[in-house]
Amino acid sequence: MIHSPINMRNQTIDNQTLIFRSEKVEPDWLVRCTVSNCEVILEEPCWANFLNSTFRGCNFNTKKLCAQRWMNCRWLDCKFIGEYGFNLGSRDDLFDLESGPMVVGCDLSQTALECVIVNADLPTIKFPRWPSITILEPGLHRAELQSLIFPAELRIWWFGESSDAHPSYSSKTFNWDNVVRRARESKAYPQEFAPYADEVRAILGRLPYVVL
């Protein structure tokens, strides 16, 4: 078992349990590591920093909302459990691993997910179902998405949601329960969104590139 404080660089880690529980005063780091078949427990996910690393066959279980933006990491056959609001698969010129998809064979089906994935092998990925809504390759379908007719009370929200469809996105996932909560908390949406769940499912569920 490996637990915080963690500061590992250029190491191979196999068949371990890694517990990330550090807070702001002493964040955890995995840099240029290869992590295989490990149980990764994120007790304090906001201070778990992964960079230029490859994760293969790992199970991630977060105890709080994980909103990290882990750059230049490759995710192969990993499983995620818990609530995530992150991006996966991003890379830049600092990335020093071999070319190819960055997210392959991952199981997100047991997550409450709001996520943009890039550089993904989409057919190999399991996405969560309702109340999560996943749009595959939204950039290719932006015009159709923006043309959808929603109830008047939802049109401002949907305009913003459908406009965020960059060509680099492999997928974009949002969570209807979170949409309802944010609308309830925002002064921009005086109406209650919860009663429109069936209409949202009916409109988006007929599209072959939407996972509900």
pLDDT reported for residue 71: 85
Residue 6: phi, psi to the nearest 5? Answer: -120, 125
Tens of pLDDT along 108-118?
999 999 999 99
Instruction: Determine the average pLDDT of the residues in 126-133.
Output: 97
* Lookup result for tokens 């921009």: 188
Mean pLDDT along residues 156-180: 94
Span 66-93, pLDDT tens digits: 998 898 999 999 999 999 998 999 988 7
Distance of CA 126 to the CA centre of its chain: 12
- Tracing tokens 């550089």 back to the chain, one arrives at 119
Contact 126, 139 (CB under 8 A): no
142 has pLDDT over 80: yes
Note the pLDDT tens digit of each residue in 16-67.
Answer: 999 998 776 789 999 999 999 999 999 988 889 999 999 999 999 999 999 9
Domain that holds residue 107: 2-211
Is the peptide bond preceding residue 151 cis, with omega within 30 degrees of 0?
A: no
d(CA 151, CA 95): 44
pTM of the complete model: 0.92
Instruction: Return the sign of the alpha-carbon dihedral for residues 49, 117, 96, 11.
Output: positive
In whole angstroms, what is the distance from residue 71 CA to residue 170 CA? 16
Give me the number of domains the chain comprises.
1
- Residue closest to 107 by CA, chosen among 54, 61, 49: 61
